[in-house]
Each structure stands twice: as structure tokens, then as C-alpha cells.
Amino acid sequence: DEPCGSRRCCEVVIGDGGFVFALEKRGYVQAGPWTPEAAAEHPEAVRQLHREFLRAGANVMQTFTFYASDDKLENRGNKQRFTGQQINEAACDLAREVANEGDALVAGGVSQTPSYLSCKSEDEVKAIFMKQIEVFVKKNVDFLIAEYFEHVEEAEWAVQVLKTTGKPVAASLCIGPDGDLNRVSPGDCAVRLVNAGAHIVGINCHFDPETCLKTVKLMMEGVKKAGLKAHFMIQPLAYHTPDCGCQGFIDLPEFPFSLEPRILTRWDMQKYAREAYNAGIRYIGGCCGFEPYHTRALAEELAPERGFLPAGSEKHGNWGSSLALHTKPWVRARARRDYWETLKPASGRPMCPSMSTPDSWGVTKGHADLMQQKEATSQEQLKALRSKC
Amino acid sequence: DEPCGSRRCCEVVIGDGGFVFALEKRGYVQAGPWTPEAAAEHPEAVRQLHREFLRAGANVMQTFTFYASDDKLENRGNKQRFTGQQINEAACDLAREVANEGDALVAGGVSQTPSYLSCKSEDEVKAIFMKQIEVFVKKNVDFLIAEYFEHVEEAEWAVQVLKTTGKPVAASLCIGPDGDLNRVSPGDCAVRLVNAGAHIVGINCHFDPETCLKTVKLMMEGVKKAGLKAHFMIQPLAYHTPDCGCQGFIDLPEFPFSLEPRILTRWDMQKYAREAYNAGIRYIGGCCGFEPYHTRALAEELAPERGFLPAGSEKHGNWGSSLALHTKPWVRARARRDYWETLKPASGRPMCPSMSTPDSWGVTKGHADLMQQKEATSQEQLKALRSKC
Amino acid sequence: DEPCGSRRCCEVVIGDGGFVFALEKRGYVQAGPWTPEAAAEHPEAVRQLHREFLRAGANVMQTFTFYASDDKLENRGNKQRFTGQQINEAACDLAREVANEGDALVAGGVSQTPSYLSCKSEDEVKAIFMKQIEVFVKKNVDFLIAEYFEHVEEAEWAVQVLKTTGKPVAASLCIGPDGDLNRVSPGDCAVRLVNAGAHIVGINCHFDPETCLKTVKLMMEGVKKAGLKAHFMIQPLAYHTPDCGCQGFIDLPEFPFSLEPRILTRWDMQKYAREAYNAGIRYIGGCCGFEPYHTRALAEELAPERGFLPAGSEKHGNWGSSLALHTKPWVRARARRDYWETLKPASGRPMCPSMSTPDSWGVTKGHADLMQQKEATSQEQLKALRSKC
Amino acid sequence: DEPCGSRRCCEVVIGDGGFVFALEKRGYVQAGPWTPEAAAEHPEAVRQLHREFLRAGANVMQTFTFYASDDKLENRGNKQRFTGQQINEAACDLAREVANEGDALVAGGVSQTPSYLSCKSEDEVKAIFMKQIEVFVKKNVDFLIAEYFEHVEEAEWAVQVLKTTGKPVAASLCIGPDGDLNRVSPGDCAVRLVNAGAHIVGINCHFDPETCLKTVKLMMEGVKKAGLKAHFMIQPLAYHTPDCGCQGFIDLPEFPFSLEPRILTRWDMQKYAREAYNAGIRYIGGCCGFEPYHTRALAEELAPERGFLPAGSEKHGNWGSSLALHTKPWVRARARRDYWETLKPASGRPMCPSMSTPDSWGVTKGHADLMQQKEATSQEQLKALRSKC
């Protein structure tokens, strides 16, 4: 009953945060392709981010191998100095190095592929996963995560490949309460993933904590109704997205370069951690938008359950108590929980709305616009796209 | 005519961003005291942040010595494992190490003191600055910055001390268009600082770019009217603060833990860089809230003037062009300047306002509530403060 | 096939707007009891409002008899100089007088009763409706409307009483997509009302046009699925209420005295009229918040279908065309449809949010707090209520 | 010392509200020309609005003669069935009829002219005012108001003509704190109007109460500094306009058809009345956007000073007390002052901003675009204007 290879999994596991957004802000990842070549190109930056999440209380160091399949690394003119294998190996080494600095597990991660979107066969797609898995086995990661899948079918294929390693497997979809992009319901998705062999199922990315929580609850109901058992995980965005449609924050007009006003505060995070815990979810982490202080907030909220504070709390008092050291008296007066818990933070942007209308092209796998290519997107292709907006 | 010791100062200098807020989010600085002991405690984290700002295009590595005076390091129970001297020395070494990885200058920085706020004498306050300066001279920084002063009088004292080194001196106040906390106008402040010996004068922290720009313009007018000459610098917040009063963002109810919705986008930053340049300001940087991608946006906007892009732009196309590599067609359609330049980003927070009413206690140096102390703030003191809110 | 006694009903009927809110703003109705004694007390004010709705294009003059049952007129210390019968008779006379000035029909209206809320028997409640009906028959109104019912059971009772007159009967609930206060779905409600004898069924009050439209569509589906036939009506609020729960705008903290920022523009109204028409609804009117210009906007939007503009359009061009007569050139430039259709109007309230959290006491008929009384609410009762907030 | 012919002027005078906006919503005035032909065309509607303002507590019935000069009645193709004289006479009769129903004064009003904007001579402009005055003298109004002037020069001319009647004269500009459209400061404007012979000077229209209050205070300071004496009046918009530039709400993109979200609540009005009274202003009324309930709120707030409540308060308790008669317990719980005074009302419009960027063409009298004409604005003229936006 210890699916991810550790006594901790039966208690609360704090996941780390998403690397591609955090490293994009630090200058090491390119928005658009979102590929993880920094693991090989700029290892000091990746190592430092791992350390910060570890210090923030994360129990899992996930290898920075998001979108590290060869078909993605070469998609649309995304030229790399490193092979997929080199990147995957470097990422495993970094994760293990930092995990050993604390008491964390290393999770090898795979994610959805352009090949699936371009209607490649099950065999072709599985071969891509297998190539990554070989590195994970060689580097002996502790468990495996198939995450960020929009189509449950592709996630099932991934789980089936991951299962061949004998290691514990988690599977996480980036879908909302309306289901996957083919409208398979969250409950049905969860059942299919458990049946495919996943020990942990859940949701990551694409939606805010509130929405992800709703979706995981639907998964829990589905699994229970089917008479199955599983652990559940949740790794939402650190962005408020009440206005999202079924495809998540990618459809928001602000994606990816103007999401700032939506960033969650540490207090929003504590609320989320509590609600996720109360819902029975025991793998609670984050995805795009998470900075180390967001993860620390999860660990601080759940410190009573876990029995300890994370290392990073040496620089953070509970509920703003460190403000008692501020030089200004009115700021010292804010050193209390009820102040921060009830504050409705202003945007400072009176010319801006509070919600947007998402793009909603309503197309997915199989549609011509979603066929990927090795060549860079041409000016003609861009022009044609703009005319559709 | 090269006040900061370099040919570059006559052209455009890109400053780095504020360290205390960035490192607080990463888990190495405590909000409240905001002291820089991480320079000695967690050098790898400080080094990495220096590198990211360098990579983002900053010409200056400012020593992480904000609030590193002994009276501040010991204020209100802020116990440290390191002496002020150790911290200042470690900070100088880190800044120099990373500056040498590129072609940047090292600036030693001093800031306002609790002693001044507590009505200590000119001699006592100057002695504090002198202690920090001794380290800067020993470590041979390239130039000096007196920054984050709310009272021009204390900034004059600092400049006078800094001048004794023979190194170029910059002086930067954290005030708005209404002047310093004793209502000395920005124009008069600038004249006094130039007369005290500052080569560069300007504004940092406490207000958003738009407000800081307005204030620096008033400084320019004052200096010109007085028949003096100076260079000008600007290092604003990365937060929108249209609702601030004279004391800046410290008075906003969201300070410091719920400022997220106010964070500037990279496009906001490009607009700011252009306006600052057009106003004739040639030292353009950032302060609290700046992340490396904000600094990179300044460097990208001013690439035509500087003649080159920063290293970090290898992971960032102009105006979102890297989105042409995205898998989703509607995101590829956003790979263009006019899209991002005109977008009004939503907060995702329909229950929140767009502006706040700042606290406004109207007290400053001399008021009993502003006397600092070595002992931790007591529960009685906190209770008394809350009753004043 | 002419359920409301007129050829017009098979085409588009424009309903009038709600009287209690409009007359409250004019000084003739008391918010809280919302009773229509003005029909007898201040007939000139009621007559003028009828005329304005007639001039705006309304085909129906609904008698101002909302909440004109004796149990409501005497509820909680609501003392009146006039009997219920006097008020009902005066209201019929005024509606008929103005209807005859144009070509409108008179509809006698009944609404939900405190007696039902206080758990009185079916016979007692029906006796109350019967008393009002007797006036309507004597005054020979053209058709009857049972409107503003939160419980379908009480609406059925009303329809059964109204049917005894032999006149066409419309039935309109003030519920949302989640159904009546006992969670009977809109589809089931509609079927029950049609089975009780209503020729026209639909929704009025409590929600904005968008929400009401959604609810009426559910009613249409229910009626169709049941193999029945009916006409459909919609008379929504003139307030945007995206944040309402199941009880509608009464639960919003702004109800009833701070709803101003939510008021619909005339352009919002044209959009609503078009969508209601496209959904197949043919009785399209308004309720609380409607002013005559809102009703005129409905009539202008549907002028192509109806074949004529309302009289009031002599003072209103299509889509702002009268602005071509403005003295300022930049206002003349706004005399066009695309300007007004795409404008996102600002609130001018930067300290206010865009949505609220509704009160949600979750109690209805049968709960002690909802027992009504003849005596005025006492200070003790008020105090007890406040302690529950 | 009784400038407007009444003992009441030395106490508090409550002015009525603006007629053109209120009657536009009721269907009797055309937005764009904003001319008052309804006085002759639809007297019942004008009479009823007078009555409602009287009932709300207004001490002054202002003749509905806004823009009733012949040059305006004929501007840009604005064809009328009635002559200017007929309209002015009808308006006087209506105001007197209703004033006599209570204890109110009749004020004859003139406003700025297209002739002035089109650079006609002083004699020509004065002749236009004289023509209206002749009616006011014949109908024996109690006092005169020159209101809604954007250029103090034209207002001086008006005052000079009005003075010839021997009746008390009030003069009111529609300017903000930055002064008239030629940048004459509010203080200087007030001095010039007092010197021209005005007994009462102040501000009406174009800005919200807060802004108008600021402007009247500047007028008071100017008059005091000049050693003069005057009474002061204020009749602001019922719209929140924090984002206005110097030309007021006309420049807001929402003018005039999408101002709804900006409408003041009754509680906003009470705050305004109190602040105006505290500032020493004794003629306190309203302009565009005012509905009778807004005026009633002024009268209720100042009831302690005036010694009585207005007639309309029979249908309105203080601070929402009538809600104690509501059927729902949570609404009864809102029957209290602190609830309404602190509520921040939501807009219900999450897609909309809280402030707008005003148009700012920066042109006024003398500019070709502001020359008026008898002919209707042509399609070519409209097209040319749109191309300037």
C-alpha cells in the first residue's frame, strides 16, 4: 500500500512546482516550445530551482523532462544543441543530486506528445515514451509520472509503457470538470487510468486550484463508483482562472505573457492546501506559475498534519508574523492571520477587467490546424492563423 | 564626464532588480526585516540571482547589502548568525564574481537606517554608513549608491560619507511626486543631493514606473532650474500602484504579501523603458517585484539604442515571437506585437477591487511609533498597534 | 391558438417593465414591502409610468397589483389607507385608461403570498387569489398573469384559480436554472404549469436576461419532451447578476439599494431581445430595474420583426444616431452601432469588485424565519437576524 | 442678504435634478441635441418629473429651458414643431404650476450657446440670452440661473444680461478643478462671475460630486482671497467620473449611452450632501443622472439641518429601515446604516474595467470642428470624424 515507494505517500506528499514557467521568468526556457533543454544547457539554474522547492517543503523532485521527447524537441523549428537523451539524463542527475540534499524522492516524468496530436499510431507514440523511460530506468528514479495529458487515451498508452518498469506510476491529466478534449468525463478518465495500472491519478496544470479540486473530486467519485481504489494527486496552476473553458488557461487571451494579475498569493495557496487535504487528496503540489514561496505555503498550511515546517520557513513566520519586525508601525499591525485571510487584493489596474473571454477554437487531435511539423511556422501560416481570430 | 567609472554610463545603463523581494519568494529573505544575511548564509541563491540579472542584460551588479547596517541587522529582535561586516564582504565577493562572468560593474549600496528614524545624531548615522563603506573600499567596488531614503537629509549625510571614497556616487530616494516625508519637493531634493556631491540622482522603490517617472522628471526640472548638472536614474517597483499616497506601496493594504495582482507584465516594462529613455534618463533599472524577465524586457526594448540583445534573449523572441513554435494554432496567432501591446489583462479575481485605500498614519521620523528597538516587538505593542487601525 | 386574446400573441409581444422598482425611484413605493398602494394614493404617477411603457412599445399594460393581496398589504406592520380591493380596482382602471390611449392589452396580475410562505393551506391561499380575481373579472381585463412565484406549487394553485375565469392565463416563475426553491427543475415546473392550465409559461424577475434565457430554454425543453405545447414569456431584471445563487438578486448584498452599477444599458437590452427572439420566445418584457428606455430598446431591436418602431423612438435614433446632432465632434463620432455594441463600460468605481458573494441562508417555506406576521418586525427580531449574518 | 428672493437661501436650498437625462430615459428627450421641446410637446411628462423632484424635497423648480435658445433648437438639423418662445413659456408655466403645489421657487435657466462656440460676437450671443430672459420676466420667475457654461467669458455675458432684470442671479459653470476650457482657474472664474453680478456661483454637470466639490472649494478660496462675498451652489452629475479629464463626462467613452454602471447610489448621495454642507455650500442639488430618489437622499441627509423630511420620505425610511418589512429574514437584517454605508457595490460586469481612458481632442471654441451649422451632420462629415478617432 505504498504506491510511490515510500512511507510518506500514505501521509501527505507535497509536490514541487512547474519548472517551465518559473525558468522562463528566470531566462532559461522559451515560451512557446516550453522544452527543458536547460537541464543540459544551464544546469546551475535548474539545480537552484530544485533546491528552492526542496527547501520549500517538496517531497518530490520531478525530473525536468517536461516535453523532453524527441518529436517535441524538434517541433516547428525548435533546434537544440542537445539530444533528447542528453537532456533526460542531465535532468535525472540534477533531480537526484538535490533530492539527496534532503529526503525527497525522484520522479521521472513524461508528458503528451506532438505525435499523438498529429494522429501517429499507438505504437509510434508508445515508442516515444519508451525512449524516455529507458533513461529513467537507467538513472533509477523512484517512481514515474505521466502528466499533462489532454486526451485520456494517450495517457493510458503512457501508463501502459510506464508500468513495464515495475515502478510505481502516477497519471495526471490537464483537464477540467467537463472532461478530456474528447469529452470523456473526469470520472471515466480516472477509471481508465486506474485500469491501465496507475496507482495515483489526478490533475495537473491548465486550471486554478478551485477548478482542479472540483475535477479531482469527480475523479474520486468515478473511481469509488467503479469499486476501484487509488491515491489522488493535484498540481494546479498558480493562476486564478474562473473564466476558463474546457481547454484551460491556454485559451485565455493572457496566456502566456500577461497572466501576472492572476497569480495566487500565499494565502490563496494555504486555502487550497487545506481544501485539497480535506477532500482526501494526499499528493498536493503545483504546476505553472508556482514559485517556491507558493509551495512553502502548502507545506506551512499542512505542517500540523506533517508534523514539521519546511526549511524555508526559517525565513517566514506563520501568517505574516515576521512583519512584527518591520520598522513601520502600521505594517507591524498586519502581522496577523485574520488580516491576510480576509484581504481582497486590488489589481492596481483600473483599466482592466476581472475576467476575459477565452479563445475557443473547438478543435483538437485530428484537426488540420493541430498537425505538427518539423519546419518552423512560416509567415504564411501565421498570417492564415491571424485571419481566423 | 563618466561619473560611474565607465564609458557605458554615458549611454544606457540597465540596472538590476531588487533582491529582497525576489529572494523572499525563493525562500532566503524574511519579509519584515528585509535584511540580506543570505549573502553569507545562502551564497548559491544570491549568486544565481545575480547571474540571472546579468543574463537579463543588467550592466550593474549591486552588492546585496540592502539594510546591511548593524543597527538594522539587530532591530526588533532580528538575530543573525553573521556580523554586518561578514554580510557586506560576502555580498561584495558575490557581486564581483558574477560581474566578471560578464562585463558588468559592481556598485556598493547603502540605505536608510533605523538610527535616523530613531532621531540619532548626524555623527551616529554617518558612522553607520562609514562602517559599510570601509568594506566597499576594501573590496574595491566600482561605484557607490545611496538608495532607498525617505528623508533627503539622511541621503545627504550618506552622500557626504560616500564622497570621501573618491568613487562615483549615485543617490536615489524612495519618494513620490509630493516629495520626501518632510514634504521637501523632488526638485529641491535633487538639488540638495547634487550639491552634496552625487553624480547621479534619482528614484527607486515605493512607486510604480509611471509615478517614479513623474518624480524623476520633477528632479530633472529642479536640477536644470538650479543651473546644475547630473545624470538621472530610475529603479521603480514592478507593481502597479496608482492608488498610493506619499509613502508609497508600504501603505497599501496588500503590502507585502498580497501584491501579486499588481505585478507588471513584460510589456508594461517595455513601455516603461521607452518612456524613461525618452525622458532622458540613462540609468534604467528596477526594484522590488522585478524578476529577471522584467529586466530582460528593459534590455530588449532598448536593444536598438544599446546595439545588442541580452544573453537571456536566446530564450525569448521579440514581442512574443517564440509563440510561433506553440502546438496550438490560436496561441501561435498571438505571436505579434500589437496583440500584447493592446491587451488589457484580467485579474481573474471578480471579488476584488482594482484599487485600494492606503493606510495613512501620517507619521514619520520623530514620532514615538517610529522609534526602533533591539528587543522584539512585544504582544502588547502589537495589540496597541492593531487598536489604532 | 391565440392564448392571450389577441392576434399579436402569435407574433411578438413586448411586455412592460417592473413597476415597484421604477416607482420606488420616483418616490411612490416603499422598498421592503414593495406594495402597490400608489395605484390608489398617487394615480398620476402610476398613469405616467404606464404611458411611458406604452410609448416605449409595450403591448401589455399590466395592472399595478403586484403584492396587492390583503395578507401582504398588512404584513409586518405595513399599514395602508386603502383596502386591497380599492387598490386592485384603481390599478385596473389606470391600466385600461392608458391601454386605450394606444393599442395595448390589459393583464391582471397576481403574485406569491406571505400566506403560502407561512404554510397556510391550499384553500386559504386560493381564497386570496380569488379575491383579487374577482376585481379583474369585474374590470374585464384581457388576460391574467400569475407571476413572481418561487414555488411551483403555489403557482399551480394560482393558475387553477385564474383558469376559473375563462380568460387566457400566463404563469411566470422567479426561478433560475437550478429550479424552484424546492429544487423542482425548470422543465418540470413548466410541465406542471401547462398541465394546470397555463397557456403561456416562463420566467420573470430575480435574474438577469442571460440567466432567465437559460431557464426559459430549460422550460421549453421540458414542455417539448413532455409532448405538450405552450407559449413562452421572459421578463428578466435590468440588472447584471452573474454572481447569483438559486434565490436570485434578493441574496445579493446590493439588494435593493446599491444595485446601480449592475443596471443594463440599452445595448445590453437589444442583445437580450435578439437572443430571446432567436430562442423562440414571443412574449419579451422586463421586470425590476426596467426603465422605459430599456423597453424601447426591446421594441427597437425587434422593429424589423414587428414592422414598426414604438412612438418613443421619435426621440431616439437607431444605435445612437441622434448623436450626429451633438455639438462636440468626438461625440458625433460615436453615432454608430459598432461603437456601442463593442464598448465595455467602466464602473467608475475602482474600489469596488465586479462580483459579490450572495447571502445564502438556504431556508424557504416551512422555516421559522419565514413565518410572516401582522406586527411590525421588532428590534429584538432585527437584532436576532443580524447576529445570524 | 437674501440673494434668491427667499429666507430659505440663507439656510439650505435643495436643488432639483437634471431634466434632459431623466426625460431621455422616459422617452421625451433626444440624446445629442438634448433640447427641451417636451415642455411644449409632452407637458404631462415634464409636470410629473417636476412633481417628483418637489416631492423629493427640492426647493427650486428650474424651468425646463436647458438649451432652449433658438440657435440650439435649430442646430444640425434639429427640427422642432414649436418655437423657442413657445417652449420657454410652456416650461415657465409648468414649473410655476408645480412650485405652487408645494413651497418652491421658480428659477429661469439659460445655458451656453452654439453661437458662442461658433465665434459669434458678444452682441449676438447676448441677444440670444435676452430673448429667453424676456419670457422669464413676463412669466415672473423668482430668480435666474446661468448654468452649464464651459467658458467663463460666455457666462459673464449671460450674467450681465440676467442682471438687467433686477432679479437675483446664480451662475454655474460645468468645469473641473483645472478650470474652464481656456484654463482660467476656478478661483478666477468665480471672481469674474461675482464681479459680473452673480449672487450665487458654483458648478453644475460634467463631473461627479467629489470632483465638483473640489472645484467649488477652489472657487470659494478665490472669492475669499479677492475679498469678495458670494453664496455657493453645486449640482453635480449622478455618475462616478474619477477618470475624467478637463472636459468632463462628455469625453468618457461611455457618454451618453453606457453610463449606467457609474450611477450613484442613494448612499453615495448622502455622503455628498454631507460633505457639501460641511464645506459651507448652501445650494445643493443635482444634474444629469439624478433621479428623484437621489434628490430625496440629499433632503434626508440634511433633514436635521432643515428640520423636516421631504414628502417622498413617506415611502422611504432612514438608511434602509423599510427593509424591516421584507419577507426574507436576511434582507430584514440589512435594515441598518452601517450595512449600506460600508458596502462596496459590485458591477456584475466581470468583463468590464473600472475606469476608462477619456477622449481628449483638446479642441474648443475657435476650432473648425466646433463650428456649428443649421444643416444636419452629413455622412461625409461623420466619416471624417470617425477617421480622427
pLDDT tens digits, D345-365:
999 999 999 999 999 888 888
Find residue C263's DSSP bridge partners.
C239
What CA–CA distances, in Å, run from A99 to A49, A57, B344? Answer: 12, 11, 41
Residue C46 with chain D: CB contacts under 8 Å: none
Restricting to D residues 221-280, those with a Cβ less than 8 Å away from any Cβ of A are 243
Return the SS3 of C39. Answer: helix
Say if residue D352 carries a ligand binding annotation: no
Contact between residue D238 and residue D273 where contact means Cβ atoms under 8 Å apart:
no
So what's the pLDDT on residue D9? 41
Return the SS3 of B255. Answer: coil
Task: Decide: residue A163, CB within 10 A, 0-12 exposed, 13-18 middle, 19+ buried.
Answer: middle
Task: Decide: residue B80, CB within 10 A, 0-12 exposed, 13-18 middle, 19+ buried.
Answer: middle
User: How crowded is residue D317: how many other Cβ atoms within 10 Å of its Cβ?
Assistant: 17
So what's the pLDDT on residue A361? 85
Strand D60-62 vs strand C200-204: parallel, antiparallel, or unpaired?
unpaired
What CA–CA distances, in Å, run from D307 to A366, C48, C117, C376, D41? Answer: 77, 31, 41, 27, 38
Note the pLDDT tens digit of each residue in A96-126. 999 999 989 999 999 999 999 999 999 999 9
Q: B22-25: which pairs have CB atoms within 8 A and are 24 or more residues apart?
A: B22/B49, B22/B290, B22/B291, B23/B49, B24/A293, B24/A315, B24/B256, B25/A291, B25/A292, B25/A293
Percent of chain A with pLDDT over 70: 97
Residue D7 has pLDDT above 50, yes or no: no
Note the pLDDT tens digit of each residue in A182-236. 999 999 999 999 999 999 999 999 999 999 999 999 999 999 999 999 999 999 9
User: How crowded is residue B179: how many other Cβ atoms within 10 Å of its Cβ?
Assistant: 19
Of residues A385 and B251, more confidence is placed in B251
* Residue D219: closest CA among D250, D237, D198: D198
What's the distance, CA C49 to chain centroid? 15
Residue A353 with chain D: CB contacts under 8 Å: 350-353
Whether C79 contacts chain A with CB within 8 A: no
Look up cell 540613462; give the residue.
B282
Chain A residue nearest residue C349, CA to CA: A350
Chain A residue nearest residue C353, CA to CA: A354
So what's the pLDDT on residue A277? 98
Say if residue D244 carries a ligand binding annotation: no
Query: What ipTM was reported for this prediction?
Result: 0.95
What's the distance, CA C66 to chain centroid? 9
* Residue D240: closest CA among D259, D213, D217: D259
Task: Decide: residue A85, CB within 10 A, 0-12 exposed, 13-18 middle, 19+ buried.
Answer: middle
Using CA atoms, how far apart are residues A382 and A366, in angstroms rounded to an integer?
Answer: 20
Mean pLDDT, chain B cut into blocks of 10 residues (389 residues total)? 43 96 98 96 98 98 95 88 95 98 96 94 97 97 98 98 98 97 97 98 98 98 98 98 95 98 98 98 98 98 96 94 93 96 98 95 85 90 87
Contact D355 A357 (CB under 8 A): no
Q: In what order do the strands lie in the sheet with A13-14?
A: A13-14, A283-284, A231-235, A200-204, A169-173, A143-149, A105-111, A60-62
| Distance in angstroms between the alpha carbons of the first and the last residue of chain A | 50
Using CA atoms, how far apart are residues A159 and A129, in angstroms rounded to an integer?
Answer: 9
Whether D32 contacts chain C with CB within 8 A: yes
Find residue D147's DSSP bridge partners.
D111, D172
Residue D350 with chain B: CB contacts under 8 Å: 346, 350
So what's the pLDDT on residue C6? 44
Note the pLDDT tens digit of each residue in C151-190. 999 999 999 999 999 999 999 999 999 999 999 999 999 9
Note the pLDDT tens digit of each residue in C255-264. 999 999 999 9
Residue C348's region, left for phi above 0, alpha for psi from -120 to 50, else beta, is: left
So what's the pLDDT on residue D369? 84
Task: Decide: residue A279, CB within 10 A, 0-12 exposed, 13-18 middle, 19+ buried.
Answer: middle
What CA–CA distances, in Å, run from D252 to A353, C342, C343, D173? Answer: 17, 15, 11, 19
Task: Write the DSSP string, B85-101.
Answer: HHHHHHHHHHHHHHHHH
Contact D353 B355 (CB under 8 A): no
Using CA atoms, how far apart are residues B136 and B131, in angstroms rounded to an integer?
Answer: 9
Percent of chain D with pLDDT over 70: 97
Using CA atoms, how far apart are residues C241 and C277, in angstroms rounded to an integer?
Answer: 21
* Residue B216: closest CA among B174, B159, B245, B265: B174
Contact between residue C158 and residue C146 where contact means Cβ atoms under 8 Å apart:
yes
Note the pLDDT tens digit of each residue in D109-129. 999 999 999 999 999 999 999
Note the pLDDT tens digit of each residue in D57-101. 999 999 999 999 999 999 888 888 999 999 999 999 999 999 999
pLDDT bin (cut points 50, 70, 90) of residue A370 is confident
Assigned architecture for domain D7-388: Alpha-Beta Barrel (3.20)
pLDDT bin (cut points 50, 70, 90) of residue A387 is confident
Residue A354 with chain C: CB contacts under 8 Å: 353-355
The 3-state DSSP composition of chain A as helix, strand, coil percent (nearest 5) reads 45, 10, 40
Return the SS3 of B38. Answer: helix
Of residues D2 and B382, more confidence is placed in B382
User: How crowded is residue D161: how many other Cβ atoms within 10 Å of its Cβ?
Assistant: 22
Using CA atoms, how far apart are residues C241 and C255, in angstroms rounded to an integer?
Answer: 11
Contact between residue C183 and residue C152 where contact means Cβ atoms under 8 Å apart:
no
Return the SS3 of B30. Answer: coil
Nearest to C344 among A346, A350, A353 (CB): A353
Contact A33 B322 (CB under 8 A): yes
Note the pLDDT tens digit of each residue in A131-187. 999 999 999 999 999 999 999 999 999 999 999 999 999 999 999 999 999 999 999
Q: Distance, in angstroms, between D350 CA and closest chain B CA?
A: 6
Using CA atoms, how far apart are residues D231 and D135, in angstroms rounded to an integer?
Answer: 26
Whether C351 contacts chain B with CB within 8 A: yes
Chain D residue nearest residue A346, CA to CA: D354
* Residue B325: closest CA among A244, A114, A155: A114
HSE (side-chain half, CA atoms, 13 Å) at C307: 4
What is the rounded average pLDDT of the residues A57-70?
96
Contact between residue A134 and residue A146 where contact means Cβ atoms under 8 Å apart:
no
What is the rounded average pLDDT of the residues C223-234?
98
Return the SS3 of A141. Answer: coil
Q: Distance, in angstroms, between A261 CA and closest chain C CA?
A: 15
Contact A356 D352 (CB under 8 A): no
Q: Where are the alpha helices (DSSP H) in chain D?
A: 19-26, 38-41, 43-55, 70-73, 84-101, 114-117, 122-138, 152-163, 186-196, 209-225, 266-278, 292-301, 303-306, 329-332, 337-342, 379-388
Whether C356 contacts chain B with CB within 8 A: yes
Chain B residue nearest residue A357, CA to CA: B346
So what's the pLDDT on residue B115? 94
* Residue D14: closest CA among D59, D64, D62, D50: D59
The 3-state DSSP composition of chain C as helix, strand, coil percent (nearest 5) reads 45, 10, 45
Note the pLDDT tens digit of each residue in C306-350. 999 999 999 998 999 999 999 999 999 999 999 999 999 999 999
Per the prediction, chain D carries an average pLDDT of 94
Q: C25-29: which pairs have CB atoms within 8 A and are 24 or more residues apart?
A: C25/D291, C25/D292, C25/D293, C26/D52, C26/D291, C26/D292, C26/D293, C27/D52, C27/D55, C27/D56, C27/D292, C27/D293, C27/D296, C27/D311, C27/D312, C27/D315, C27/D316, C28/D315, C29/D315
What CA–CA distances, in Å, run from C282 to B110, C15, C196, C202? Answer: 74, 10, 21, 11
Chain D residue nearest residue A352, CA to CA: D353
C-alpha cell at C227: 409532448
Whether D355 contacts chain B with CB within 8 A: yes
So what's the pLDDT on residue A148? 98
Residue D307 has pLDDT above 60, yes or no: yes
Nearest to C27 among D267, D292, D329 (CB): D292
Contact between residue A15 and residue A235 where contact means Cβ atoms under 8 Å apart:
yes
- Look at the domain A7-386 and name its fold: TIM Barrel (3.20.20)
Using CA atoms, how far apart are residues D297 and A137, in angstroms rounded to an integer?
Answer: 76
Residue D328 has pLDDT above 70, yes or no: yes
Residue D23 has pLDDT above 90, yes or no: yes
Residue D2 has pLDDT above 90, yes or no: no
What's the distance, CA B273 to chain centroid? 15
User: How crowded is residue C387: how many other Cβ atoms within 10 Å of its Cβ?
Assistant: 8
Q: Distance, in angstroms, between A47 CA and closest chain D CA?
A: 41
Residue A1 has pLDDT above 50, yes or no: no
Residue type, C305: E
So what's the pLDDT on residue C316? 95
So what's the pLDDT on residue B354? 98
pTM: 0.94
All chains having 3 or more CB pairs closer than 8 angstroms to chain A: B, C, D
So what's the pLDDT on residue A79? 85
Residue D8 has pLDDT above 50, yes or no: no
Per the prediction, chain B carries an average pLDDT of 94
Q: Where are the alpha helices (DSSP H) in chain A?
A: 19-26, 38-41, 43-56, 70-73, 84-101, 114-117, 122-138, 152-163, 186-196, 209-225, 266-278, 292-301, 303-306, 329-332, 337-342, 379-386
Q: Where are the alpha helices (DSSP H) in chain B?
A: 19-26, 38-41, 43-55, 70-73, 84-101, 114-117, 122-138, 152-163, 186-196, 209-225, 266-278, 292-301, 303-306, 329-332, 337-342, 379-386
Contact A345 B372 (CB under 8 A): no
Chain D residue nearest residue B350, CA to CA: D350
Lowest-pLDDT range, A259-263, A369-373, B206-210?
A369-373
Whether B343 contacts chain C with CB within 8 A: no
So what's the pLDDT on residue B9? 41
C-alpha cell at A357: 473571454
Residue A357 with chain D: CB contacts under 8 Å: 351
Task: Decide: residue D5, CB within 10 A, 0-12 exposed, 13-18 middle, 19+ buried.
Answer: middle
Of residues B374 and C146, more confidence is placed in C146
Return the SS3 of A169. Answer: strand
Contact A262 B370 (CB under 8 A): no
Residue A265 with chain B: CB contacts under 8 Å: 257-258, 260
Residue B77 with chain A: CB contacts under 8 Å: 325
Note the pLDDT tens digit of each residue in D242-298. 999 999 999 999 999 999 999 999 999 999 999 999 999 999 999 999 999 999 999
Return the SS3 of C373. Answer: coil
pLDDT bin (cut points 50, 70, 90) of residue C1 is very low
